[in-house]
Amino acid sequence: MKVLVTGGAGFIGSAVVRKLVSQQLADVVTVDALTYAGNMASLAPVMEAPQHRFVRADIRDGAAMASLLEKEAPDAVMHLAAESHVDRSIDGPAAFIDTNIVGTYTLLEAVRGYWSGLPLPRKEAFRFHHVSTDEVYGSLGPSGAFKETTAYAPNSPYSASKAASDHLVRAWHHTYGLPVVTTNCSNNYGPYQFPEKLIPLMILNGLEDKPLPVYGAGANIRDWLHVEDHADALWLVLTRGMPGQVYNIGGDAERRNIDVVRLICDLLDDLVPSGKSRHELITFVTDRPGHDARYAMDISRISGELGWRPRHSFESGLRQTVDWYLGNRNWWEAVRTGRYAGNRLGLGANGVSTAPAGAP
């Protein structure tokens, strides 16, 4: 089996590529435009593997996508290429519209053209897997969880752009018959995550005795999913999911943002003691505009139909993540010196701040 993975040099995409190649589950063609969040170093463990090939290309380039599909003749496409950070979408929504909506449309059309020309057995077996987010559902109250049937109510430019891309994928299935599966996941964490996100930012700031900025009172709740558990789920959905179906993927690990930060402080104090506790570095900052209160995922469909459940507890997964950042300083130092220095994002076009980014 050959799989083409878009956004394969990003955080989740590279985890998928490493899994498929290292476990010899498929031949993989990794496609990435290598924007700020794409990192070739995240593919280093599999870069030279004979069943892996990297292509630098942009999903917004329809001719390039059509040519690549004809040349590589994949059996499936896993679409993970996206602008993905809420704070960046507040500061610059245009890039999110361009990549997440126009890019997905362009890719869908290239894939539809390629798929239409396949012989019948390959045509029936082909899958287009669209990877999306729980943020398309909006915000939850103190109880309940998002189901696959929950109405969409996106509240940020990022989530609105992902909701639009989800609808495009659904339409291409129902209108043209393209065999698609869609997954909506909760907040990911783990090795190789770009350090603008909450967990790596807190780890790295804590290591450097910098402030640990927490939005508002830190009461916003997220369900945390280890990226390796997510990669496992994505492979199951690609190979065993029903065409046209949507699957929610979550970590069964709801935590308040402040509790996540405090646990990171405890781990850093234990693993790399400093002159003072990292808890003293916690700083509460002005909240993000339109900050959703709570996300939680009902994973009964993927558990019941495909037998998937997360392998990592949040505590064990977070410790593994902290250990990874401690042991891979070269990876994150290159990112922080080259593309992201820890400055705060998400204040809007006219916002000015020198404080680092905050919670998701």
The residues carrying an active-site annotation are: 134-135, 158
Of 69, 348, 333, nearest in space to 204 by CA: 333
Distance CA 24, CA 303 (A): 24
Q: Where are the beta strands (DSSP E) in 25-140?
A: 27-32, 52-56, 76-79, 127-133
Q: Which residues contact 174 (CB under 8 A, 6 or more apart)?
A: 244
Q: Is the Cβ–Cβ distance between 57 and 33 less than 8 Å?
A: yes
Burial class (CB in 10 A: 0-12, 13-18, 19+), 151: exposed
Gap between the Cα atoms of 71 and 102, Å rounded = 23
* DSSP H or E run through 166: helix 157-176
Compute the distance between CA of residue 307 and CA of residue 314 in angstroms, rounded to an integer.
20
Print burial letters for 5-42: b (CB count within 10 Å at least 16), e (below 16).
bbbbbbbbbbbbbbbbbeeeebbbbbbbbeeebbbebb
Q: Cα separation of 298 and 252, whole Å?
A: 9
Report, in this order, helix, strand and coil percent for the chain, each rounded to 5.
45, 15, 40
The Cα–Cα gap between 249 and 300 comes to 9
Using DSSP, state whether 164 is helix, strand or coil: helix
Cα 47 from chain centre: 21
